[in-house]
Amino acid sequence: MLLIRCPYCQDYFPEVEFDYAGEAHIERPADPSLLSDDAWRDFLFIRSNTRGWHVERWRHTHGCGRFFNMVRHTVTDKILLTYRAGEPMPNIKQLVETNT
Amino acid sequence: MTQSFRVDGRGRLDYGTPMRFTFDGKTYSGFKGDTLASALLAHGVHLVGRSFKYHRPRGIVTAGSEEPNALVGIDRGAGRFEPNTRATVQELYQGLSAESQNRWPSLQFDIGAINDQFHSLFPAGFYYKTFMWPRQFWDRVYEPFIRFAAGLGRPPRDPDPDCYASRYHHCDLLIVGGGPAGLAAALEAGRQGLDVVIVDEQAAFGGSLLSNPTCTINGALSWEWIANVVEELRGLENVKLLLRTSAIGYFHQNMVGLCQRLTDHLSDVPDGVPRERLWRVRARRVILAQGAIEKPLVFNGNDRPGVMLASAGQTYLHRYGVTVGKRIVIVTSHDTAWQAAFDYANAGIEIAAIVDVRPEVDPKLRAKADECAIKTLVGHSITQTTGRKRVRSVTVQATTDPSRKSVRRLLCDAVLMSGGWTPTLYLFSHTKGSLTWDDNGERFLPSETPEICDIIGAGNGCWGIANALREGACVGAGKALTDIEVSYTVEHDDDAASGIVQKELPTTQPQETVRAFVDFQNDVTSKDIRLAVQTGMKSIEHVKRYTTNGMATDQGKLSNMNGLMIAADALGVTPPDVGLTTFRPPYTPTTFGVFAGRHSGEHFEVERKTVIDPWADEQGAVFEPVSLWRRARYFPQAGEDMRAAVARECGAVRSGVGIFDASTLGKIEVVGPDAAEFLNRMYTNPWLKLAPGRCRYGLLLGEDGYIRDDGVVARLSQDRFHVTTTTGGAPNVLATMEDYLQTEWPDLDVWLTSTTEQWAVIALQGPLARKVLEPLVDGIDLSNDAFPHMSMAQCSVAGYPARLFRVSFTGELGFEVNVPAQFGRALWERFIEAGEPHSICPYGTEAMHVLRTEKGYIIVGQDTDGTVTPDDAGLNWAIGKKKKDFIGKRSLSRPDLVADGRKQFVGLLTHDPSVVLEEGAQVVQDPNQSVPMDMLGHITSSYWSEALGRSIALALIADGRARMDQSLYIPMDNQTHAVTVVSPVFYDPSGERLNS
Amino acid sequence: MQHYSALSLIKNAFTKHKHWKEEWPDAAPKAAYDVVIIGAGGHGLGAAYYLAKEHGINNVAVVEKGWLGGGNTGRNTTIIRSNYLYDESAKLYDHAVDLWETLSQEVNYNVMFSKRGVMMLAHTQHDIQSIQRHIHANRLNGVDNRWLSAKEAKTLCPPLNIEANARYPVLGAALQKRAGTARHDAVAWGYARAAAARGVDIIQNCPVTNILRGPDGRVTGVETPKGVIKAKKIAVSAAGNTSVIMDTAGVRMPLESYTLQALVSEPVKPCLPGVVMSNSVHAYISQSDKGELVIGSGTDQYTSYSQRGGLPMIEHTLAAICEMFPVFKRMRMLRLWGGVVDVTPDRSAILGKTPVDGLYVNCGWGTGGFKATPGAAHLLAWTIAKDEPHPINAPFSLQRFATGRLIDEAAAAAVAH
Amino acid sequence: MMNKGAVPLERVEDKNVRLSANEARQGKGFKLHTDSNGTHKTLANITGDRIKISMRAPGGRLSLRVREQNRLQTSEALRVPLPLQIGKRKTDGKRSVLCLGPDEWVIRTPCEDVQALLQKSELLRDATPHSLVDVSSRDVEIDISGRDVEAVLSAGCPIDFRQFSVGEGKRTIFDSVQIILDRHTDTDFSIEVWRSYSAYIWEGLALAIDDVNAESFLAE
Ligand SMILES: Cc1cc2nc3c(=O)[nH]c(=O)nc-3n(C[C@H](O)[C@H](O)[C@H](O)COP(=O)(O)OP(=O)(O)OC[C@H]3O[C@@H](n4cnc5c(N)ncnc54)[C@H](O)[C@@H]3O)c2cc1C
Ligand SMILES: NC(=O)c1ccc[n+]([C@@H]2O[C@H](COP(=O)([O-])OP(=O)(O)OC[C@H]3O[C@@H](n4cnc5c(N)ncnc54)[C@H](O)[C@@H]3O)[C@@H](O)[C@H]2O)c1
Ligand SMILES: Cc1cc2nc3c(=O)[nH]c(=O)nc-3n(C[C@H](O)[C@H](O)[C@H](O)COP(=O)(O)O)c2cc1C
Ligand SMILES: [Zn+2]
């Protein structure tokens, strides 16, 4: 069971208070009707499924209720960082370097 | 029987409290403080079980949870039978009743032992090679036979009446293992004021010190030292001590699972006390001080009852006051077993010889042996043992002497063996911690772990009590291991701990006669491991799975290292090149019950009830579960079955007035200046122009274009909507809405609040509904003109603040009254009273289903299944044609969603009106085609309609709307039903009744 | 290939088992192959076998990053059944079950396919509707599946709790008699041995790090720590790791990899004759031929390649098992492990061609592809050999995610084993 | 304690009849069996010297949502103090306000205040976007106090009570059910939970108490 820092509550809480919500930074197209079937497929279904540092969404469902983002390593499950929804994707390479 | 193997003046038993117990029906006695194993040994009983494959007689090997052989069934009365309990762990209690396992008809005489005669036919992997011919024999003969032979203990047969508990716990420091290292760590950390939890799986703290009463620590004898430390720790409020508590698994971020056994050791178990408790401990820091486990030696006949680990011998002697035999042979490749010999000699027990396979040993040890007058055979190996149910002799021979001149036979009734020590790295490895190979010690040692975790004592490869204490004290104080600040003076330390690691012991016996066991329980011999390698199993993981080495209930605690050494030898590579198999939780087998915890029986999962539920209950309603809720399904009157009750309830709604508890519907209050815009983006329908006081049916899709949910949405005011969802869909709809709102459209000024349980919802449906309601409503004109279908108003009903909807899911004139939940029951009863003159009739979900089916209204999840588009469902009218976008819109134009042949929602009428079709039945065009048939679709809803005097059904049928009036067929097991495709609206298609 | 039989076993007993040969040689990669299959699970090994046997393509390598069979093939709960809802799925899995029936003889290796029956419990009206829909569709598709009353279910499976006052009482069940389990490791070993005997190279401890493509876009080979291995055709059959490898060929996949956990109890004498599954209560269970109860859990919530799961899921699973079988509360968990399952949006597999010439993919089997092993292997071999899908796997194309022609077994059932 | 809340359905033992799925679906084979010892658990208070649980009388409760930039304005207009930090509670007379999220507060106030607040909100609506929703009836409140309170709550609540101070409150879970937990003193807590979950929570607490009591039973 992960221990997750909610960037809104600014504290650590156990995974059971949170829901995973898939890969982060996949923005819904402003006008989907302009997309080809393939492009729309990509939006709907294609995920990076990264083996390594993965940027993903979580929601502190049974806490403050907010969606936020997390950088987690999908092999070690180590959490590098959590940040608020809407903030830009961090430079992971740099972060990893400074953190190790 | 007498306890003729007790040793006077030894043991930590309560000799004042004798206890009786039975084993295989025979009565024995022991003392409080004994384990079942020690009490049996006290009577000279070694033979306690039979092995898995060959049914070889097996005895007690260890004195701990790593025991592979001494597994017994424990029976504590009805529902309290438990198989595979380790006799070495089970504490004795008054009246304990145990039985041996995997033998028939008896432990002494076991037919299955015939397998042993044919062992050469059953090498590792034999079953992959045979039982294939003739093919039919597999199902009927071979497999039943294999399955019959499976398993160890007999399974429990009755429901377990015990309860189990669980807790979360947080601490600064969790210490696993209460030996010298763990205790010293707890002492330092506890004195610093940290929140400490220290656990040990045994019944007492002290670890290996309990088996070493002669050493002194800071002047105190070891047992005294333990008592002092434990007393000090108990006195500290910040320290929690848990005995009989196994750390079972090390999970992410220092979450360690513990299983605490609360009652299995008690003679009288108080009522209602949980049997076990699961602790989920989240610790800032974890210290692993689990010690080390002794390795058996692999030699011919090493599995005979009476052959045990040397340290177990010490434990039985010192802790339990029991000698494991009257004439004992020690066989070892390691120093520590010499101490066992000395201990036994000091206790006056005859040591036949110390057989040490090493060419040379520490002269100090030899000198000490001489002092004790013990014969030593250094550079000797065991080549054979005798004794079927108890070892009777061992044959030894010098390792340097191939000529067999040095062969000699030593009579004995017990053998204590030691192949050295394996640091316990199970939990450490759960963290995905890495191991390094220690060339000197020929063992794996802990290296890096991603967790905040230290490992100390014998588990860290350190030896000697003083060293263990020092490591404990350093790490407990939060210092590095090299920071020697606290030091302990230890006398009679057991620091002599060198040795060599062996594969099989050398032997001159002809290979085919050698049976040297590596995994006792699973009957894996060294030859099996070599055969696996020969067969091409070159990865240790393959060797494990091919031979089952390490897969028994001790999970390789005794067998993994020996297996590895032999496999490495067979492969001709070094042990670290072979590596270990993966360590997995639990550390020791752990009951299902403790994981289930409180969540059993009625507490298995929440059952939600509405505020009107008690009323329905009092009326004798029959309920059904709908997602987590239970809902009244129908209200049978005396003598009525479901069909009669439902027909009556439907009739009342169609001709008079029915009352229905709709409280479970999901409700969301959508508030803010952008509320309408938000709903416009979410739902297919247009919302911007909906006037306050009006309702609209809303349809919600997934981004993939398929129907997810529906419900009526009312506009309360410019910036406030009351959204309803399906009962089951409520949580998902809210979560989906929040998701879009927070992450896609954070700019919208709108907020969502779940009000599902704020409102009790009572539906009054039927031509007389207005008659019941009108007198109770204040200040609103309920006439059809003033308050038409799909109106809503905030008003007071029977004096309660209410949101009143004119809506209908039945096709009749209908109202839904929302009042704050706390008034729900009162209002319901008020309606029942007011409706009495109109014969108001409560109806349940079943009648509701019939009524809505008559009207062709869909139920999301029943008539749709996650692959149905609005067009498929005939709901295109619910799509705002001018809207540029809404969730799922883009998907609706994907090629397959506009292709021909999609399954469309239609009605079906059986040619025989009395036939009620089965929901889920498949529809075909040509009933005479052969299997596999071309299926057009399936029945989604099917009921007897009293109003129509016939059966009706809804279905999803390929190109359904183009098939109106076609005859289709429903082939069932023994007959085929013919149906006609019709519109899904069976009743009042013009909607007159609704608008009256 | 050395023939395995009772007779050979007896003969070898006389020669002290000294003459058993390696079941498959540990091959070093050759410079080039006609076909390289990435992933030595049951699917990949089986495909190599069928390529050699049925299509005469023997110049094949199966490249495995670890030990063969160590992926999900080696860590699954081995449920085999074919009573799926949609025609496409039913055909696919029934094709596999047909092959299971004779697999031991086919590869001369006893994979212990045990037709002990799989029972799926109904606890709610919704379950009954859904199960009935399956049963009827299966019947018309010629797939074995039938309805059992609760009592019949209990007769078949005595430890089952059918008390009416349970939180989720058993209202009935679907039974597929022809379904069951198999010895998972033996499937990998049997295929490996049979494939090796037909000239297939099995290269272990050799992770593929890159798929190489020529200027025309067609595949040319794979990069590994053991060097570049050239190949005319490449099939990726790497379960949880598929998207990582496909990425190197420039194909992004509709896949997410999750941890799925399973556990076994200590072994006990036979007490659970068949396999029991429950969608509403969320657990499934069988008893292995060795005596352990084999229990499957649900996927953990977040994507992971760690093969290691969390405790909450296990607590839930065992509560569910105790709910269905209160007699098992005193049984003990012996070992708990995880696998990495590759999950598609519609929970159905992807088996077919890819946008890259010469590159084929077999993945997305998620929590339920063991049962498909011989079928998927057979169809993958066909697809590689003919450069076009077999009619049975044609609907399982990658293309369906763009057209929307999904095969949504997930929508029809909550758990998909 | 474990009397069945639901009406147990008793299977009719008709020996020879095999129920078809359709029959089972239609409830055949089950007859109604009403439990004599009260099918509805009355939530009798639990009173012991180490732990007490009781149901709190209904009170007023509103969910307030407003963006940070409008927080002060709203606070002033409604005359409710809005604590800044998630998890903090502010009390003003009979009213107390707990911050649950960055834009979310729950206002606890006497029932009779609710309408007045809603009216004020209505007036504020055009000037200051916000949402105020009456949820008084949605939740029920359980008071739980006593020396063993942390141990009892720890049975189902995964938070670290050492980090949860007096005067704080938070949304969390108990036994997988969402609750709002408030800490009033070292040993006084209250749980706010959606109405239909309250019996389950109550039962969970009762079972937890059995477990905690066992500790004193078993102490050697
Ligand atoms: C806990 C659990 C329970 C399950 N229960 C069932 C069940 O009851 N019934 C059922 O039908 N299915 C079940 N499944 C699913 C089933 O196990 C899989 O769908 C099936 O085994 C997949 O087989 P495979 O051969 O495709 O994959 P795998 O056996 O996983 O083989 C893929 C191989 O590819 C290798 N590989 C990966 N990356 C590379 C690389 N870069 N280079 C070289 N090699 C690589 C891997 O090491 C692995 O050996 C379960 C799965 C799990 C995890
Ligand atoms: N000669 C012997 O018999 C012998 C054996 C082992 C250690 N020693 C001596 O003891 C010193 C080591 O002391 P130590 O403290 O490292 O080890 P220890 O063996 O004294 O203590 C380890 C303790 O950990 C407990 N434990 C192990 N796994 C557990 C789990 N998963 N959950 C709960 N409890 C668990 C055991 O019950 C044991 O009490 C060594 O340096 C050596 O000198 C002697
Ligand atoms: C059907 C099945 C039965 C198993 N039975 C046992 C068993 O009896 N004993 C055991 O230790 N492990 C058993 N395992 C688990 C394996 O030891 C191992 O955990 C699993 O293959 C995953 O590999 P890993 O743990 O090495 O990652 C079994 C696994 C499966 C799939
Ligand atoms: Zn938060």
What pLDDT score does D44 carry? 62
Strands C32-38 and C227-236: parallel
**Secondary structure class of C84 (helix, strand, coil):** coil
Does residue A65 come out as left (phi exceeding 0), alpha (psi in the -120 to 50 range) or beta? left
* Whole-number Å distance between alpha carbons of D95 and B845: 41
Share of chain C above pLDDT 90, in %: 94
Contact between residue B327 and residue B409 where contact means Cβ atoms under 8 Å apart: no
Strands B950-958 and B967-971: unpaired
B523 interface with C at CB cutoff 8 Å = no
- Amino acid code (one letter) for C81: R
Q: How far is the CA of A60 from the centre of ligand 4 (A)?
A: 5
* Option in C149, C165, C169 nearest D19 (CB): C149
Residues with Cβ < 8 Å from B864, sequence gap 6 or more?
A: B706, B707, B858, B873, B940
Q: Which of A8, A17, A37 to mutate to test the interface with B (most CBs of B within 10 A)?
A: A37
Q: How far is the CA of C70 from the centre of ligand 3 (A)?
A: 11
DSSP element (H, E) containing A19: strand A19-23
Residues C128, D25: C-beta atoms closer than 8 Å = yes
Q: Which has the higher per-residue pLDDT, C416 or B270?
A: B270
Q: Which has the higher per-residue pLDDT, D31 or D151?
A: D151
B220 has a pLDDT exceeding 60: yes
Q: How far is the CA of D22 from the centre of ligand 3 (A)?
A: 41
Q: Does residue C43's CB lie within 6 angstroms of at least one atom of ligand 1?
A: yes
Tokens of B417: 């063996």
Tokens of D34: 């009403």
Residues A56, C302: C-beta atoms closer than 8 Å = yes
* Whole-number Å distance between alpha carbons of C49 and C71: 18
Report chain B's mean pLDDT, rounded to a whole number.
96
**Between the CA atoms of B604, B606, B609 and B614, what dihedral angle is there, to the nearest 10 degrees?**
40
What pLDDT score does D33 carry? 29
B584 has a pLDDT exceeding 50: yes
* Option in D102, D158, D163 nearest A64 (CB): D102
CA-based nearest distance B630→chain D, Å:
8
Contact between residue B310 and residue B375 where contact means Cβ atoms under 8 Å apart: no
Residue with tokens 């010297």: D49
* Whole-number Å distance between alpha carbons of B66 and B98: 19
Residue B258: C-alpha distances to residues B90, B265, B587, B590 (Å): 18, 18, 10, 10
B132 has a pLDDT exceeding 90: no
Tens of pLDDT along B598-620? Answer: 999 889 999 999 999 999 999 99
Neighbours of D, requiring at least 3 CB pairs below 8 Å, are A, B, C
* Whole-number Å distance between alpha carbons of B498 and B513: 32
Share of chain B above pLDDT 70, in %: 99
* Option in C252, C254, C310 nearest A1 (CB): C310
Tens of pLDDT along B161-196? Answer: 999 999 999 999 999 999 999 999 999 999 999 999
Tens of pLDDT along B447-471? Answer: 999 999 999 999 999 999 999 999 9
Contact between residue B692 and residue D122 where contact means Cβ atoms under 8 Å apart: no
How much is the average pLDDT of D153-172?
A: 97
> How confident is residue C43, by pLDDT bands cut at 50, 70 and 90?
very high
**According to DSSP H, which parts of B656-782 are helical?**
675-682, 730-739, 769-773
Q: How far is the CA of B182 from the centre of ligand 3 (A)?
A: 31
Tens of pLDDT along B832-847? Answer: 999 999 999 999 999 9
Residues with Cβ < 8 Å from C339, sequence gap 6 or more?
A: C71, C72, C75, C76, C240, C259, C260, C261, C262, C307
Closest atom of ligand 3 to CA, residue B541: 26
Share of chain B above pLDDT 90, in %: 91
* Whole-number Å distance between alpha carbons of B397 and A33: 87
Tens of pLDDT along B855-871? Answer: 999 999 999 999 999 99
Tokens of B59: 């005895």
Tens of pLDDT along B244-260? Answer: 999 999 999 999 999 99
* Whole-number Å distance between alpha carbons of D199 and B104: 50
* Whole-number Å distance between alpha carbons of D89 and D66: 17
- Burial letters B106-116, b for 16+ CB under 10 A, else e: ebeebebbebb
B726 has a pLDDT exceeding 60: yes
**Secondary structure class of B94 (helix, strand, coil):** coil
What pLDDT score does B402 carry? 79
Distance of CA D89 to the CA centre of its chain: 17
Tokens of B922: 């498949």
Count, residues in chain A: 100
Q: Which of B245, B602, B734, B750 to mutate to test the interface with D (most CBs of D within 10 A)?
A: B602
D32 interface with C at CB cutoff 8 Å = no
Smallest CA-to-CA distance from B888 within B656, B679, B707 is with B707
Q: Does residue C364's CB lie within 6 angstroms of at least one atom of ligand 1?
A: no
Residues B157, C327: C-beta atoms closer than 8 Å = yes
Contact between residue C385 and residue C51 where contact means Cβ atoms under 8 Å apart: yes
Query: Which residue in A has a C-alpha nearest to residue C256's C-alpha?
Result: A49
D74 has a pLDDT exceeding 90: yes
What pLDDT score does C342 carry? 97
Residues D24, C128: C-beta atoms closer than 8 Å = yes
Neighbours of B, requiring at least 3 CB pairs below 8 Å, are A, C, D
* Whole-number Å distance between alpha carbons of C207 and C71: 13
D200 interface with C at CB cutoff 8 Å = no
B669 neighbourhood in chain D, CB within 8 Å: 131, 133
**Phi and psi angles of residue C133, each rounded to the nearest 5 degrees, phi first:** -60, -40
C134 interface with B at CB cutoff 8 Å = yes
Distance of CA D140 to the CA centre of its chain: 5
Residues A2, C310: C-beta atoms closer than 8 Å = yes
What pLDDT score does D6 carry? 32
**Between the CA atoms of C6, C9, C10 and C14, what dihedral angle is there, to the nearest 10 degrees?**
170
CA-based nearest distance C244→chain B, Å:
22
What pLDDT score does D14 carry? 37
Q: Does residue C337's CB lie within 6 angstroms of at least one atom of ligand 3?
A: yes
Residue with tokens 């806490």: A63
Share of chain C above pLDDT 70, in %: 98
What pLDDT score does D41 carry? 38
The ligand minimizing its distance to the Cα of C337 is 3
How much is the average pLDDT of C387-393?
A: 98
**Phi and psi angles of residue B603, each rounded to the nearest 5 degrees, phi first:** -90, 10
Q: How far is the CA of B703 from the centre of ligand 4 (A)?
A: 27
* Whole-number Å distance between alpha carbons of A46 and A34: 18
Kindly give the interhelix angle for B336-346 and B310-320, rounded to the nearest 10 degrees. 40
Q: Degrees (nearest 5) of the Cα angle B453, B456, B459?
A: 105
* Option in A9, A16, A64 nearest D158 (CB): A16
Strands D52-55 and D46-47: antiparallel
Q: How far is the CA of D65 from the centre of ligand 4 (A)?
A: 15
Q: Does residue B463's CB lie within 6 angstroms of at least one atom of ligand 2?
A: yes
| CA-closest residue to ligand 1 atom 4 | C76
Q: Which residues of C touch A (CB under 8 A)?
A: 241, 243-244, 252-257, 301-306, 308, 310-312, 345, 401-403
Tokens of C408: 């949504």
Contact between residue B416 and residue B308 where contact means Cβ atoms under 8 Å apart: yes
Q: What is the DSSP letter of B407?
A: -
* Option in D4, D162, D177 nearest B606 (CB): D177
D154 has a pLDDT exceeding 90: yes
Tens of pLDDT along B737-790? Answer: 999 999 999 999 999 999 999 999 999 999 999 999 999 998 899 999 999 999
What pLDDT score does D24 carry? 43
Residues B622, D160: C-beta atoms closer than 8 Å = no
D7 has a pLDDT exceeding 50: no
Q: Which of residues 633-692 of B touch D (CB under 8 A)?
A: 633-634, 636, 641-643, 669, 671-673
Q: What is the pTM of this model?
A: 0.96
Q: How far is the CA of B522 from the centre of ligand 3 (A)?
A: 14
Tokens of B563: 């297996």
* Whole-number Å distance between alpha carbons of B511 and B524: 16
What is the DSSP secondary-structure string of C52-68?
HHHH----EEEE-SSST
D38 has a pLDDT exceeding 80: no
* Interface ipTM: 0.96
DSSP element (H, E) containing B230: helix B222-235
Q: Which has the higher per-residue pLDDT, C166 or B659?
A: B659
D42 has a pLDDT exceeding 70: no
What pLDDT score does C413 carry? 52
User: Which residues of chain A register pLDDT less than 70?
Assistant: none
Q: Does residue B208's CB lie within 6 angstroms of at least one atom of ligand 2?
A: yes
Contact between residue B389 and residue B108 where contact means Cβ atoms under 8 Å apart: yes
Tens of pLDDT along C314-354? Answer: 999 999 999 999 999 999 999 999 999 999 999 999 999 99
Tokens of B502: 């062996």
Residue D185: C-alpha distances to residues B176, B982, D94, D149, D161 (Å): 33, 67, 17, 11, 12
C73 has a pLDDT exceeding 60: yes
Q: Does residue B468's CB lie within 6 angstroms of at least one atom of ligand 2?
A: yes
* Option in D86, D158, D173 nearest A8 (CB): D86
Residues B278, C315: C-beta atoms closer than 8 Å = yes
Ligand 4 (single-atom ion) residues, CB below 5 Å: A 6, 8-9, 60, 63-64
Smallest CA-to-CA distance from B320 within B477, B189, B204, B191 is with B204
What pLDDT score does B484 carry? 66
CA-based nearest distance B896→chain C, Å:
5
- Which of B140-149, B202-211, B708-717, C363-372 bottoms out in mean pLDDT, i.e. has the lowest? B140-149
What pLDDT score does A99 carry? 79
Contact between residue C296 and residue C284 where contact means Cβ atoms under 8 Å apart: yes
What pLDDT score does D37 carry? 32
Smallest CA-to-CA distance from B308 within B468, B494, B70, B546 is with B70
Tokens of D179: 């609750």
Q: Does residue B211's CB lie within 6 angstroms of at least one atom of ligand 2?
A: yes
Q: How far is the CA of B206 from the centre of ligand 2 (A)?
A: 8
Q: Does residue C304's CB lie within 6 angstroms of at least one atom of ligand 1?
A: no
* Option in B746, B884, B894 nearest A33 (CB): B884
What pLDDT score does D215 carry? 82
- Which of B355-359, B509-513, B727-731, C187-191 bottoms out in mean pLDDT, i.e. has the lowest? B509-513
Q: Which of residues 261-320 of B touch D (CB under 8 A)?
A: 262-263, 270, 272-274, 277, 280, 282
Residues C131, D21: C-beta atoms closer than 8 Å = yes
Tens of pLDDT along D128-144? Answer: 999 999 999 999 999 99
What pLDDT score does D36 carry? 32
Q: What is the DSSP letter of B142?
A: I
